[in-house]
Structure 1
Amino acid sequence: MNRAFNFNAGPSALPIEVLEKAQEELLDFKGSGMSVMELSHRSKEYDAVHNEAEQLLRELMQIPDNYDVLFLQGGASTQFTMIPMNFLAENQTADYILTGSWSEKALQEAEKLGKANIAASTKNNGYNAIPSLDELSLSNDSAYVHITSNNTIYGTQWEELPSLKNKDLIADMSSDILSRPIDVSKFAMIYAGAQKNLGPSGVTVVILRNDMTKRIPNNIPTMLDYRTQIKKKSLYNTPPTFGIYMLSLVLNWMKEQGGVEQIAERNDQKSELIYNAIDESNGFYKPHAKDGSRSKMNVTFTLPSDDLTQKFLNGAKEKGFVGLNGHRSIGGCRASIYNAVPLESCQALHDYMTTFCKEFS
């Protein structure tokens, strides 16, 4: 089987072991005579899948008991609306730290529903860095502080996630959840689309400290009220059952790999390989992100000219590399090296980048 070197930004690579397990169980899940896609979401067979996914996530992330775990639909983009709808009161301000396009979109949705404040932004510098805590200008009446922990387009990441006393911190971790150990108790809420580190697209994980629900007004539409899904364990309506099943397989795979600590160690090795190819190129490859803000999930860089960029991408395609085009808004190149991207793929990319640089620099 000829597998591609998959560096897609999302939907992205899945572990081969997970795909093989899903293939094995596709027609007959655990003797049911049905695929998981055919099971009733009220059946005991699916209930076991659902509960296992939650239990594994709690175990791997060491989620405290006073947090609810939800499996929702609508992607992280729906959370941009749900968060201010549920938690931004009329007499409060929502603080947003802008580090890229997705945090901008989250801010725009909050502004439609209430008062929002840009607590810090690196837009003037092309979103090439994460602001320091000294740069934050938080509101006195802050309802919450929103961050995007990793920025897929610009290739920046919070090297150290902030601790904000007396502030409810909410994080969009769509592109780096479970890539490194974090202290969940620092956050009022964490949310993430599944299609980068958790599984295929279609599931959004929400981890919500349960005292936050006391702030939710009673005029929220039923499906946009977190309490609806908490009360019904994400089963108020039909959930994305196959996506949650795939998520449980990915979480099982992560556990077998040694958990988040081992995954993080391998992610360090993978990102180091590609950043080394950039740093040792004498300026042939230029990183977008500044030192101290470099993402370990999305490595973004440019070449000396558009012609060389196209030549690089064409050559990469011939060698089986997929997804190395930079985002259309900034161009250049991007290697997305999420948890399921093998170390061998990153080594192959390092070698190709080094060879290409020697030939054309």
Structure 2
Amino acid sequence: MNHQQFETWVKAIGAAWVNRDPQAAADLFTPDATYQENPFEPPLQGRPAILKYWGDVSTQENITFRHEILEVTEHIGFAHWSVELTRIPSSKRVKLDGIFAASFHPNETRCHEFREWWTRQEGPSSRRVALITGASRGLGVTLATCLAGQNFDLILTARGAESLEQTTGQLRQYGTTILALAGDIAEPAHQRRLIEAAESLGRLDVLVNNASELGPSPMPTLAEMPLAAFRHIYEVNVVAPLALTQSALPLLKANHGLVVNLSSDAAVGGYAGWGGYGSSKAALDLLSRTWANELEEAGVGVVSVDPGDMRTVMHQQAFPGEDISDRPEPNVT
């Protein structure tokens, strides 16, 4: 067993944990392996017992695994590991931290004797936390990637569950906690779920109201705007950010947080066909300025940001059938 082989084995057991795959974990041990999780418990004997023990991962989610190789000898590897996870259904955050020794027979890459010692800590994460709406594509993905790279734990939401899951998978490489909750930001019940997720992490430092509703495509003039569509634009672009900010205030105040509301030049442009979307962003800009004045003494910052034209799905919907390849990608921001 050399350093690279042991590193590969440790990464594999970490991946089995993150992916909640007991069988993948059990397959890393020989059929007659001994598995002892602490010196005071009788060891598990054999792969079936190990598989049963690892079945506990079904009660866990949002798992992150980190490790450090301490020493590797001819037949034994030592590693330090730490895991953060959310317990189901309590939503409690748990941190596990420990070391293990894994023994291997000559020319064998499966472990035959495993011993570990670990501690448990339950409570909030010490890392900063950001909540981003509209996080499954475009600028939302860019912002999530930026914050994950700065070691933020993330709460991500968007309507598309599949694309949100893909985004989450891409961000796992940063090793931060990611809570991905698909749903409609205009629904009060979903707003409550997002705040509960932040509460489970123990804090909220940044709220990014990025989710936006463009309205019908092609975009109608105000004279032709369906009132139901107009109301929905305001529910998503104005009411939802207001409601989410209201609910998040206790957490934001506790950490002197920041609210970022995504706006548009359509808020001031008066462009034909952009009346529904543009007026909603004008309203959001006014909310942002008012919030900033009202929350200054509480130490909560509120800003409204116009990222400019970008090559996104929503921008293409605003210009159906037109070539928008001259617009920059969201990561240019």
TM-score (norm. length: structure 1): 0.21
Higher RCO by CA contacts (8 Å cutoff, separation 6 or greater): 1
Give the strand-richer structure, 1 or 2. 2
Larger Rg: 2
TM-score (norm. length: structure 2): 0.22
